[in-house]
């Protein structure tokens, strides 16, 4: 068994995007309907540019599946780019005036070219389509174990949602989120977010925001405290910061922990034998400031991750920049882009967070087939129940 992992390939205006997922067990149903629904959600959201009217993202499975089930080999998926024109010099001209905030400048220096085009083709958030496909495939494994991921837009610019997510209400919040074109389950906040995006467009600028991700149904003990590289909180932060335009990540109370005394931060531990058959094993926490991870491992409470997304760096009004060929001052280039992509990024984070949880589960339970994964998972929960509170 190889560890669960993935890579992507593809440029924004190349022929297509590729997701290559290794380490899925055999016998996992590959529900392309779910993967494609996630891809469709990623394409949505008020404030996106014209590109999404051109594309119709669908994952085409090229390898790893036989008659709807994985066979243990690498899963390869392709998403075709309809707006493929990278080799057409007239339609993808060189760009010499880098956009502040974008990969343009550093990439041009790194690759020793005054043309930002090569870097921006790969830096583009179009690549997140492949990450969503990979993450959605991994979430099919989570679903088999009753683990669900839910992300929504907590804020856009200064407009914040007034919602408290619980195990009891998250499904109805998901419905409200899906009915919102800004990915926000708070209807009033969603309307204000929409208005903020509309104004930003008129103002020829862009907006960022905060995305919140919750993972439900994870038993305690997933991840590791023994090797820093396998700490689940570290993996989550790595995965989230690896997504285009993310500038901050926190788990649970996050930065809020720093200003409070310990007794107000740490979550009191209780035990309810009536709930011992649940994945929490009956462990109950009065609060969840830890965001579901303690010592790099799940603690049985829902995982909570928040990420800050910067405003898109392609700003229509232009930003002070230089022409890389001359060093002379020149306004930054404008390419068709989004005014606000926070709702789309919420879909991306839901899937990359799901992937990391699946990766940690694969590491703990191993197994070449789904039957083996399930048996190991059940055996662990049975042993843990026996250990706790005298069985």
Task: Report the interface residues with ligand EPS, using CB under 6 A.
Answer: 12, 49, 51, 83, 124-126, 128-129, 312, 314, 335-338, 341
Report the residue number, 130 or 357, with the smaller CB distance to ligand EPS. Answer: 130
Minimum CB–partner distance for residue 203 and ligand EPS (Å): 18
Report the residue number, 316 or 375, with the smaller CB distance to ligand EPS. Answer: 316
Measured CA to CA, the distance from residue 281 to residue 362 in angstroms comes to 20
Minimum CB–partner distance for residue 193 and ligand EPS (Å): 18
Tell me which residue of 183, 172, 169, 212 sits closest to 304, measured CA to CA: 212
Minimum CB–partner distance for residue 48 and ligand EPS (Å): 7
Tell me which residue of 142, 144, 140, 162 sits closest to 153, measured CA to CA: 162
Measured CA to CA, the distance from residue 186 to residue 172 in angstroms comes to 11
Minimum CB–partner distance for residue 261 and ligand EPS (Å): 42
Report the residue number, 124 or 224, with the smaller CB distance to ligand EPS. Answer: 124
Minimum CB–partner distance for residue 341 and ligand EPS (Å): 6
Minimum CB–partner distance for residue 351 and ligand EPS (Å): 13
Report the residue number, 297 or 347, with the smaller CB distance to ligand EPS. Answer: 347
Long-range contacts of 185-190 (CB under 8 A, 24+ apart): 185/152, 185/161, 186/161, 186/162, 188/162, 189/159, 189/160, 189/161, 189/162, 190/161
Report the residue number, 275 or 336, with the smaller CB distance to ligand EPS. Answer: 336
Residue nearest to ligand EPS (CB): 124
Minimum CB–partner distance for residue 128 and ligand EPS (Å): 6
Report the residue number, 4 or 17, with the smaller CB distance to ligand EPS. Answer: 17
The structure tokens 């074109």 sit at 181
Rg for the chain (alpha carbons), in Å? 22
Report the residue number, 289 or 313, with the smaller CB distance to ligand EPS. Answer: 313
Neighbours of 153 (CB within 10 A): 30
Report the residue number, 45 or 279, with the smaller CB distance to ligand EPS. Answer: 45
Minimum CB–partner distance for residue 265 and ligand EPS (Å): 36
Report the residue number, 103 or 222, with the smaller CB distance to ligand EPS. Answer: 103
Minimum CB–partner distance for residue 98 and ligand EPS (Å): 12
């Amino acid at each position: 068994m190889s560890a669960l992992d993935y890579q992507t390939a593809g440029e924004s205006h190349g022929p297509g995007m590729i997701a290559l997922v290794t380490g899925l067990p055999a016998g996992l149903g590959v529900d392309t309907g779910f993967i494609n629904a996630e891809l469709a959600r990623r394409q949505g959201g008020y404030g996106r540019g014209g590109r999404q009217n051109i594309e119709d993202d669908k994952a085409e499975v090229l390898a790893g599946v036989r008659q709807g089930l994985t066979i243990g080999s690498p899963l390869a998926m392709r998403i075709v780019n309809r707006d493929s024109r990278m080799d057409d010099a007239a339609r993808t001209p060189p760009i010499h005036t880098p956009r502040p905030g974008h990969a343009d400048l550093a990439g041009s220096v790194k690759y020793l070219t005054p043309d930002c085009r090569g870097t921006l083709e790969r830096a583009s958030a179009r690549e997140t389509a492949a990450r969503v496909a990979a993450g959605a495939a991994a979430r099919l494994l989570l679903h088999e174990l009753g683990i669900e991921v839910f992300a929504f837009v907590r804020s856009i610019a200064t407009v914040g949602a007034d919602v408290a997510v619980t195990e009891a209400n998250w499904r109805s919040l998901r419905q409200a989120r899906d009915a919102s074109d800004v990915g926000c389950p708070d209807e009033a906040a969603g309307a204000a977010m929409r208005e903020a995006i509309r104004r930003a467009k008129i103002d020829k600028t862009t907006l960022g925001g905060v995305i919140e991700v919750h993972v439900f149904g994870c038993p305690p003990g997933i991840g590791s405290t023994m090797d820093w590289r396998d700490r689940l909180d570290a993996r989550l932060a790595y995965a989230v910061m690896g997504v285009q335009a993310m500038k901050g990540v926190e788990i649970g109370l996050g930065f809020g922990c720093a200003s409070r005394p310990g007794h107000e931060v740490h979550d009191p531990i209780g035990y309810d034998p009536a709930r011992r058959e649940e994945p929490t094993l009956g462990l109950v926490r009065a609060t969840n400031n830890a965001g579901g991870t303690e010592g790099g491992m799940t603690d049985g409470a829902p995982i909570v991750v928040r990420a800050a997304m910067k405003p898109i760096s392609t700003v229509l009004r232009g930003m002070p920049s230089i022409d890389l060929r001359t060093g002379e001052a020149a306004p930054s280039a404008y390419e068709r882009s989004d005014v606000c992509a926070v709702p789309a990024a919420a879909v991306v984070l839901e899937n990359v967070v799901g992937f990391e949880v699946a990766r940690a589960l694969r590491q703990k339970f191993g197994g070449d087939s789904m039957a083996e994964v399930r048996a190991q998972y059940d055996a662990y929960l049975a042993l843990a129940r026996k250990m706790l509170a005298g069985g």
